[in-house]
Amino acid sequence: MSDVDRELAQVLALFPVSANAVPLAGPDAAPNAAAVGVAIKHRPWVVDYGPTRAVLRRSDPGRFRAQHLSPAEALESVEWLHSFLRDLRAVGFVAPLPSTDLDGRSVAIAEGAIWELLSYVPGVPIGRSEDELLAAGALLARFHLATLRCPSRRQRPGALPVAECRPIHPEARSMRVRFDRALTAAGHHRAPHAVIHGDATDANVIRDANGAYHLIDYAVAQIDALLFDVGSALWRNARPDVHRSEYDADRVELFVRGYSAVRPLTTTDARAVVMYMQGRGLQLQRRLELRGGRDDSVMERLLNIAALDEKLTSAALRGCG
């Protein structure tokens, strides 16, 4: 039995009735993901117990060490997220809701790892069609209108706001200097800030049986500029092929059009979108550095966005027009 399997067994013992857990399928999951005996270190598990279906998530201690969080601060970070998700549901936005079926709590500690239990939001992953891209933009705008109605809160422990991302990669450092000037010119610190999803890409949007779209996986939610959330979504959504680094201006236009139809954007907002796409790349590069990882595609994509800045910005302007 692996370490993760052992942790999972401890967590399942906390449920009020017998529970069965199966790794949640996803775009990069094994086609025949087996049940509890197979350790899939970072994939959520679907848990069935009695009449209830829920989702178990595991946060590796190494992730929090990379964020320089103590075990107590790491737990506080997860509890911050659970508090926000409860507030989000209270204002009428469908999102995973923390469940207190882990012996009366929504969080459990097993071998130093943090496990959290959330309600299951049924649906299937969306594709990458034009209609789905428009709908995903509209969904993100509805989320922003909801998060603006939530009670104010302090920043999440371990957050990495875009204004504070300072990669050490030589090319990223030079880009950061230009990015700082752009942030100031765009009025970043005066722009509307609230809790953002942080990764509202097609990978985290599902469509239910009634055709409604929902956001899932709020793991990197934090307080930041709402437009940074738009740029972060386009970091992936604007690529015709998610495995490559080329960007398509038409996809930027569609997503921004869907967003602006629900939460209208000004031309100033639209000009900031591509800047925030670059900000998302700088954030990802810094996160890689903090955990000692390497992914050359991040810098490749950053450079491509910079090269296409004028074309992508024109597309964002058309989208909000």
**DSSP H or E stretch at residue 313:** helix 309-320
The structure's pTM equals 0.94
- Are the beta carbons of 61 and 41 closer than 8 angstroms? no
Distance from first CA to last CA of the chain, Å, rounded? 57
Model confidence at 41, pLDDT cuts 50, 70, 90, reads: low
- What pLDDT digit, counting tens, does each position of 141-190 carry? 999 999 999 999 999 999 999 999 999 999 999 999 999 999 999 999 99
SS3 of residue 76 by DSSP = helix
Task: Calculate the average pLDDT of the chain.
Answer: 93
Report the pLDDT value the prediction gives residue 35, as an integer from 0 to 100. 32
The answer to whether residue 64 scores a pLDDT higher than 90 is: no
CB-based contacts of 137: which residues, under 8 Å, 6+ apart?
233, 254, 255, 256, 257, 258, 259, 260, 261
Model confidence at 1, pLDDT cuts 50, 70, 90, reads: confident
Report the pLDDT value the prediction gives residue 29, as an integer from 0 to 100. 41
User: What mean pLDDT is predicted for residues 236-252?
Assistant: 97
The answer to whether residue 133 scores a pLDDT higher than 50 is: yes
| Token duo for residue 237 | 């959504």
Distance of CA 45 to the CA centre of its chain: 18
Report the pLDDT value the prediction gives residue 37, as an integer from 0 to 100. 33
Model confidence at 6, pLDDT cuts 50, 70, 90, reads: very high
The number of beta carbons lying within 10 Å of the beta carbon of residue 244 is 12
| Token duo for residue 112 | 């130093």
Angstrom distance (rounded) from CA 148 to CA 266: 18
The answer to whether residue 36 scores a pLDDT higher than 70 is: no
Distances (CA, A) of 55 to 12, 13, 201, 225, 238: 12, 15, 20, 29, 29
Angstrom distance (rounded) from CA 133 to CA 130: 5
Same fold, 3-119 and 124-320: no
- pLDDT top residue among 22 and 63: 22
| Token duo for residue 306 | 């910079």
Model confidence at 31, pLDDT cuts 50, 70, 90, reads: very low
**DSSP H or E stretch at residue 197:** none
The number of beta carbons lying within 10 Å of the beta carbon of residue 36 is 17
The answer to whether residue 257 scores a pLDDT higher than 50 is: yes
Report the pLDDT value the prediction gives residue 65, as an integer from 0 to 100. 85
Distances (CA, A) of 230 to 5, 101, 261, 273: 37, 34, 14, 7
* CATH 3.30.200.20 is held by the domain 3-119: yes
What pairs with residue 22 in β-bridges?
46
User: What mean pLDDT is predicted for residues 280-287?
Assistant: 97
Length of the chain: 321
Q: Domain 124-320 in CATH: superfamily?
A: Aminoglycoside phosphotransferase (APH), C-terminal lobe (3.90.1200.10)
Model confidence at 266, pLDDT cuts 50, 70, 90, reads: very high
The domain segmentation of the chain, as residue ranges, is 3-119, 124-320
Report the pLDDT value the prediction gives residue 67, as an integer from 0 to 100. 83
The answer to whether residue 27 scores a pLDDT higher than 80 is: no
Report phi then psi at 193, rounded to 5: -120, 145
- Are the beta carbons of 96 and 85 closer than 8 angstroms? yes
Report the pLDDT value the prediction gives residue 68, as an integer from 0 to 100. 86
Helices (H) and strands (E) in the chain, counts: 10, 10
- What pLDDT digit, counting tens, does each position of 72-99 carry? 999 999 999 999 999 999 999 999 999 9
Report the pLDDT value the prediction gives residue 118, as an integer from 0 to 100. 98
